[in-house]
Structure 1
Amino acid sequence: MNSVYVFPGQGSQRKGMGKDLFEKYPDLVARADRLLGYSLRDLCVDDPDRVLNRTEYTQPALYAVSALQYLDHIDSGGAPPAVVAGHSLGEYSALFAAGAFDFVTGLDLVRRRGELMSRAPKGAMAAVVNLDQERVARILAALPYDGIDVANINSRLQCIISGAYDEVHAPDVRQAYTEAGARFIPLNVSAAFHSRCMADVQEEFARHLSGVEFRPLRIPVIANCTARPYPTTGYAELLVRQISSPVRWYESLSWLLARGHDDFREIGPGDVLTKLTAKIREEPLAMAEPAAPQPPAAPQPPAAPVGARPAPRRALRRPEVVFMYGGQGTQYYRMGQELYDTHPAFRDAMDRCSALYEAAQGTSLVAAMHDGTRRGQDFDDILHTHAALYSVGWSLTEALRAEGFHPDAVLGHSLGEYVAATVAGAMSFEDGLDLVMKQAHLLDQRCRPGGMLSVLAPPSLYQRRRDLFAGLALAGVNFTGGTTGNFVVSGEAERVTEARAALDGEGVIAVRLPVRHGFHSGLLDDIRHECRSLGRAVTVNSPTLPVYSCAYAGELDGAALTAWDDYAWDVIRGRVRFDELMATAFRDPARHYFVDLSASGSFANFLKHGYGPDHRGAFAINQFGNNTASMRRLREGLEEVTGAAPALV
């Protein structure tokens, strides 16, 4: 079975749609009317008030008609699909078909989504036809505007741009595209869907979603913002991201075609997607991954058009050695100083980092890190800590390499993803350090202050007790098992303080992290465009090692590595999904040996308290000192696992 059902989004609505369906499902229609406060049938069939094209009415109407048509198909004896996908709003109909929620819950979600989008600031969208995505983006980058994004990539020669009204309608925007040979077609919309202009809508919708329980998916669903299957559970964040992320429809269908799916059926009014499918069949996107007869059940990381293949897998007779790198919140004054004083390779690597930092910033990074007068204080100046964490992770790797120990794979957690990518050869050491230094300046100059709180409790507490976490984003989940669980919330500093006090009053352990910014929350959205620009400036190479990403809860594939602008942003803005990554990529712990190269030994604690003794590994340093002994124990563990005799330092 290789059938794919696709569900259309806004633009497919028309007066009279669903006329034959409403009588077949009177109970569902009555429940819909009670929820909406008006007659769904009257809206769709007659539209007496001429409001069907207003987004707050369009969204529930389209979802309802598509969902009812799907039910009618199944109730009439039709076979269920192998895979489902929906274009923008249509993704909710696809999720309904996959069992994510019941009919009324889905209707309530799109009702709220439509209401929020109807109140979004005035924006505009335009179709650019007869140019490919690369040329559309290149022209956009050359224009003197920074409020326009590529919102939809529908086929090889059809993209939608979206952004501030005055910018999209500026004469030189149309002129630039028409002179390049494109048709430029302004769309009849009132807001800039799937662009950064929807950041406030996205944040408010995230709060609404936090109270919704989603069911495990029974059918694979292809996500708009990743062009890969949703995870079976824990996927609410993808619905949040979808609001401001581009719809990667061209890639989604090309990925399915490459895996042998050739039976596509449009469920819902109109035939917009049927026509797009025909165009994509003629010129599918070249996919980096090898074709497979069926889609994988496990989630895949996002990918962008074309690119280098990921590092080939090597068959190992011993456990795979995984180097792990941590991010913001793990830093402290004098981290790594003992090794700096005693380990030549570590010191040489740190000095190299510090020299590049000093050339760019005018001060010594090592001096800032090892300032003895600040011992015991929070090391939280982003202009120092971002570069310091990157440098420590890189230098620990260089120290182990000098002793003859090399990773078989790398794993990054938040900022640590940049280190992992560098160690794997996806970007140069110089580009990586430059990226984090420039990113730190953006955070310092453009972002509102914030904070982060590590909560030692099951992540379900965040969903159950919205009174405790109102206004705070779920920044990451480190583990759900063990005796407790551990998750991190992020947001405005005052709200973090209030949440900590409330948790303290209820006997829940919560530790404030030494950061001044709300990583992995909406507080970073002001720098989205600039951060993605930093990613575009990086020269990306094919990695020599598998790179495991907590942002994508999977291994980076070759196509994703070419979308470094998306990746650079997702690393600090997306949720850290360490728990999902461990569940999907490391199901058999006996096959792996984990080397914790974070500054605080945080991964060792995660593995010990959340995953159990079968997850073997050791840490290099932590804040409690005696790092020489820690490194010795790590060397001994690596010698035992790899059977290698270390080089003398």
Structure 2
Amino acid sequence: MYVFPGQGSQRKGMGKELFGKYPDLVARADRLLGYSLRELCLDDPDRVLNRTEYTQPALYAVSALQYLDHIDSGEAPPAVVAGHSLGEYSALFAAGAFDFTTGLDLVRRRGELMSRAPKGAMAAVVNLDQERVAEILAGLPHHNIDIANINSRRQCILSGVYDEIHAPDVRAAYTAAGGSFIPLNVSAAFHSRCMTDVQEEFARHLAGVDFRAPRIPVIANCTARPYPATGHADLLARQISSPVKWYESLSWLLARGHDDFREIGPGDVLTKLTGKIREEPLRIEEPPRVEAPAPPRRPAPSPAPSRTSRRPELVFMYGGQGTQYYRMGQELYDTHPAFRDAMDRGSALYEAAQGTSLVAAMHDSSRRGQDFDDILHTHAALYSIGWGLTEALRAEGFEPDAVLGHSLGEYVAATVAGVMSFEDGLDLVMKQAHLLKLRCRTGGMLSVLAPPALHQRRRDLFAGLALAGVNFGADARGNFVVSGDADRITEARAALDREGVVAVRLPVRYGFHSALVDDIRHECRSLGRAVRVSAPRVPVYSCAYAGELDGETLNRWDDYAWDVIRGRVRFDELMATAFRDPARHYFVDLSASGSFVNFLKHGYGPDHRGTFAINQFGNNAASMGRLREGLREVAGGVPALV
């Protein structure tokens, strides 16, 4: 296995034996960078090698050339590769995810952006394990410090605002606990919440890059597990502000029998860390594999069949913030006992915690026509609506074969699948709402009826706004959502209106899926850790991860609980990968607004069949009746292509 070091391993003179062996690649690097790579690495006449914008391309180039030299010298290709922070780009190059020049351009841009990050600081904490470091951090009166690197059992790196990292009580707390506190010579808070603006800008750069599936496994810093075949841009963007899980990465590899580590690049920092990790590896507990039930035995086909009567799978879909409105579900509440019982159950739990009736707040007739946007009500209301509609269908004999969540709806999907209890899920969303209200500045979200490429192409229209999600996009049609500061949302909407682009402001007071929620990252992850998680009874499809939730996610529910509201909603990618054969599925829209049916109709075509339960135009009883008819038709066996 080959491992590639990150920033801090650079030194004057690195690459001396390599530049003459690869003159063509060095010449390409010089043209792209606009200066001499050889001169920078060997002589550093302007003394800039240790500046981030120069360090990153230089270190990547030297590591990549050294890898090529090993392979060209007849060395066997590695079975797996990993890189520490910046080194992950060298690892991806080695695995064939991109060519030398593409990787160099990526790290050049990454270095430029990171060099312009606000002033920050980092410090190593040695001789304390991660749990103790986190415990001490939670007890300090500072809210802008993160654990940036977990390098070994007893070495973590803190990263954050300069004044907080250097506050006397921070050093005192760690030294009093028996640790060593060592400030690092850096100018920014890498791998922390302070880098979220950099992450968003870098994500826009990554959007124009074509990645190839790695030829060999690459371990990702964010997950400590191998890269999937797709989704490289998302992982590389997340890496900017996420911790480097090096201790877990190496421990996971050791547990799988990878014991021959070779460091490729200048220095031996990773070699020394590997020795420490070997002595005290992290115990890796993978969840038990949940075997999917065997498919029903299919009847013997009749002569020359072309179709089968196997019914499509029912996919229950749950929506999030922006789909809510006053009096949603009221008609069904008045007429459907199972739905009413489910909503009353949630309202009773809400009232016990908050002192007011959730149902009364939802059905306040005096506010009809106004935006239903008080987060203390809407978070719990949307969660309860999704659950209540599911209970209504269950009472009539309909169960999902799979569930799909969109933003907040992911919590509902996980609850319906049995991953967490209704009580735990409602408690999570109520507490999350309070955190948003207390800690996050307000913002807004805008749904844009245009192809997602417009966001990348017209940065003047969307400056400062995050791409929060993509619902569909093809040819002249499309729908994406941006999120950010409320004033910028207003300006963007006005500009789009002048250009004839339809944009709808969502009834949301917070900038979900943007840096505006980053102030509650630690607390949200803590809420996730408090949830008791079980194996799902049916597949759970996630828009945050653009795929089915797996055992790894169950083990990292704290990460997932955060990613649901912070990560981009990738509904378009999920539909393209998980539902390629629409004849196999029937989509049951259990959002409050029927929005999924509109996505399917306008973005995916008539082969994606589905029906909604309720929407904001009333007549819930009739729409539920149509849904029942559709489900009975499906249950009776609608012909599907073999």
Q: What TM-score range do you get, normalising by the shorter chain?
A: 0.7 to 0.9
1:61-80 residue CA offsets vs partner (Å, 9 max, x unmatched):
21121122233345556565
Counting only pairs closer than 5 Å after superposition, residues 166-245 of structure 1 correspond to structure 2 as 166-170=163-167, 173-174=170-171, 176-177=173-174, 182-209=179-206, 212-219=208-215, 220-233=217-230, 235-245=232-242
Distance 2:285 2:626 in 1: 40
Q: 1:396 to 1:136 in 2, by over 3 A?
A: same
Distance in structure 2 (CA, Å) of the matches to 1:147 and 1:471: 21
The amino acid that maps onto 2:292 is: R
**Matched-pair contact (CA < 8 Å) for 1:482–1:611:** no
CA contact (8 A) 1:482 1:610 kept: no
Contact kept in structure 2, 1:193 and 1:244, CA below 8 Å: yes
Query: Structure 1 residues 99-108 or 376-385, which shifts more?
Result: 99-108
Does the 8 Å CA contact 2:204/2:456 hold for their aligned counterparts?
no
Q: 2:40 matched to 1:43?
A: yes
With over 3 angstroms needed to count, the CA separation of the structure-2 counterparts of 1:604 and 1:482, relative to structure 1, is: farther
Counterpart Cα distance in 2 of 1:443 and 1:273: 39
- Say which SS state the counterpart of residue 592 (structure 2) adopts: coil
Contact 2:92 2:214 in 1 (8 A): no
Task: Give the counterpart letter for 2:523 in structure 1.
Answer: E
Percent identity, aligned pairs only, is: 85
Task: Work out whether residues 149 and 162 of structure 1, in 8 Å CA contact, stay in contact via their aligned partners in 2.
Answer: yes
Deviation at 1:505, TM superposition (A): 4.4
Cα 1:595–1:240 change in 2 (3 A) is same
Match of 2:458 among 459, 462, 465: 465
The amino acid across from 2:411 in the alignment is: Y
Measure the CA separation in 2 of the matches of 1:524 and 1:449: 9
Cα distance, 1:6–1:585 mapped onto 2, change above 3 Å: farther
The 10-residue stretch of structure 1 (270-279 or 328-337) with the greater mean CA deviation from structure 2? 270-279
1:325 corresponds to 2:318: yes
Name the residue aligned to 1:9.
Answer: 6
SS in 1 for 2:147: strand
2:451–2:475 Cα contact (<8 Å) kept: no
| CA distances 1:53-97 after superposition (whole Å, capped 9, x unpaired) | 333332222112112223334555656555443210112223334
Q: Distance in 2 between matches of 1:256 and 1:619?
A: 46
The answer on whether the counterparts of 2:152 and 2:247 sit within 8 Å (CA) in structure 1 is yes
Structure 2: distance between partners of 1:563 and 1:233? 20
Q: Which residues of 2 match residues 470-619 of structure 1 at below 5 A?
A: 470-481=463-474, 484-619=477-612
Once the two structures are TM-superposed, the CA of residue 477 in structure 1 deviates from its matched residue by 1.6
Q: Does the 8 A contact of 2:407 with 2:544 survive in 1?
A: yes
Alignment check: 8 A CA contact 1:309 1:559 kept: no
Equivalent residue, structure 1, for 2:300? none
Post-superposition Cα deviations, 1:103-159, rounded to whole Å, max 9, x if no partner, equal 444334323433443344443333344544333323332344333222112234433
Does the residue aligned with 2:528 lie in a helix, a strand or coil? Answer: helix
SS in 2 for 1:151: strand
Residue 354 to residue 92, structure 1, CA distance change in 2 (3 Å): same
1:366 to 346, 359, 372: 359
Report the Cα offset of residue 331 of structure 1: 1.3
Q: How far does residue 255 in structure 1 lie from its aligned partner after superposition?
A: 4.2
SS of the aligned residue for 1:552 comes to coil
CA distance in 2, matches of 1:319, 1:273: 51
Residue of structure 1 in register with 2:343 after alignment: 350
Which stretch shifts more, 514-523 or 81-90? 81-90
1:315 to 294, 297, 300: 294
Q: Distance in 1 between matches of 2:392 and 2:261?
A: 53
Paired residue type of 1:237:
D
Corresponding pairs, count: 622
> Could you list the per-position Cα deviations for residues 530-584 of structure 1 after superposition, in whole angstroms to 9, with x for gaps in the alignment?
3333334444444444332211222333343343332222111110112222333
User: Is residue 425 of structure 1 aligned with residue 418 of structure 2?
Assistant: yes
Could you tell me which residue of structure 1 aligns to residue 308 of structure 2? none
User: Is the CA contact (8 Å cut-off) linking 1:310 and 1:542 kept in structure 2?
Assistant: no
> Which deviations, in whole Å up to 9, do the C-alpha atoms of 1:514-533 show, x marking residues without a partner?
22222111222233233333
Q: Give, in whole Å, the separation in 1 of the partners of 2:538 and 2:139.
A: 35
- Give the 3 Å change call, closer, same or farther, for CA 529–453 of structure 1 in structure 2: same
SS at match of 1:548: strand
Distance 1:181 1:319, change over 3 A: farther
Deviations 1:451-501 (A, max 9, x none): 222233332332233233222211112234587233222222333334334
Query: Counterpart amino acid of 1:152?
Result: N
Contact persistence 2:443–2:511 (CA under 8 A): yes
For residues 98 and 78 of structure 1, do their structure 2 counterparts lie closer, same or farther at Cα, with a shift above 3 Å needed? same
CA distance, structure 1, for counterparts of residue 487 and residue 175 of structure 2: 50
Residue type at the aligned position of 1:158? Q
Shift of 1:319: 4.5
Q: Which residue of 2 aligns with 1:139?
A: 136
Work out the CA distance in 2 between the residues paired with 1:122 and 1:493. Answer: 26
SS in 2 for 1:15: coil
> Are the structure 2 counterparts of residues 261 and 501 from structure 1 closer, same or farther at C-alpha, using a change threshold of 3 Å?
farther
| Cα distance change on mapping 1:488 and 1:119 into 2, 3 Å | closer
- The match for 1:300 is none
Deviations 1:359-404 (A, max 9, x none): 3334332222223333333322323221211110111122222223
* Runs of 4+ more than 6 Å apart: none
- 1:364 to 1:456, Cα distance in 2 relative to 1, 3 A: same
Q: Which runs of 5+ in 2 are unaligned?
A: 297-310, 638-642
Contact 1:311 1:544 in 2 (8 A): no
Q: Separation in 2 of the partners of 1:132 and 1:313?
A: 38
**Unpaired runs of 5+ in structure 1?**
290-307, 645-649
Distance of 1:194 and 1:580 partners within structure 2: 26
Distance 1:482 1:11 in 2: 46
Deviates more, 1:600-609 or 1:256-265: 256-265
Q: Does the C-alpha gap of structure 1 residues 98 and 613 become closer, same or farther in structure 2, counting only changes over 3 Å? A: farther
Between 1:11-20 and 1:146-155, the stretch displaced more is 146-155
> Please, which moves more after superposition, 335-344 or 144-153?
144-153
Contact 1:195 1:244 in 2 (8 A): yes
Corresponding residue of 2:432: 439
RMSD: 3.1
Change (3 A) 1:492 1:147: closer
Secondary structure of the residue that 1:485 maps to in structure 2?
A: strand
Residue 613 of structure 2 corresponds to 620
Cα distance in 2 for partners of 1:586, 1:182 equals 51
1:337 and 1:190 mapped to 2: Cα distance? Answer: 55
1:576 maps to amino acid: V
Query: Does structure 1 residue 113 correspond to structure 2 residue 106?
Result: no
Post-superposition shift, 1:199? 2.9
**1:68 aligns to 2:61 (yes or no):** no
Instruction: Name the TM-score, length of structure 2 as normaliser.
Output: 0.87
SS state at 1:358 partner:
helix
Structure 1 residues 198 and 414: CA distance shift in structure 2, 3 A? same
Cα distance in 2 for residues equivalent to 1:539 and 1:233 = 30
Report the AA paired with residue 237 of structure 2.
Answer: V
Moved more, 601-610 or 15-24: 601-610
Other-structure match for 2:331: 338
The worse-fitting range, judged by mean Cα deviation, of 18-27 and 589-598 is 589-598
Q: 1:311 to 1:176 in 2, by over 3 A?
A: farther
Contact 1:452 1:512 in 2 (8 A): yes
Q: 1:591 to 1:203 in 2, by over 3 A?
A: closer
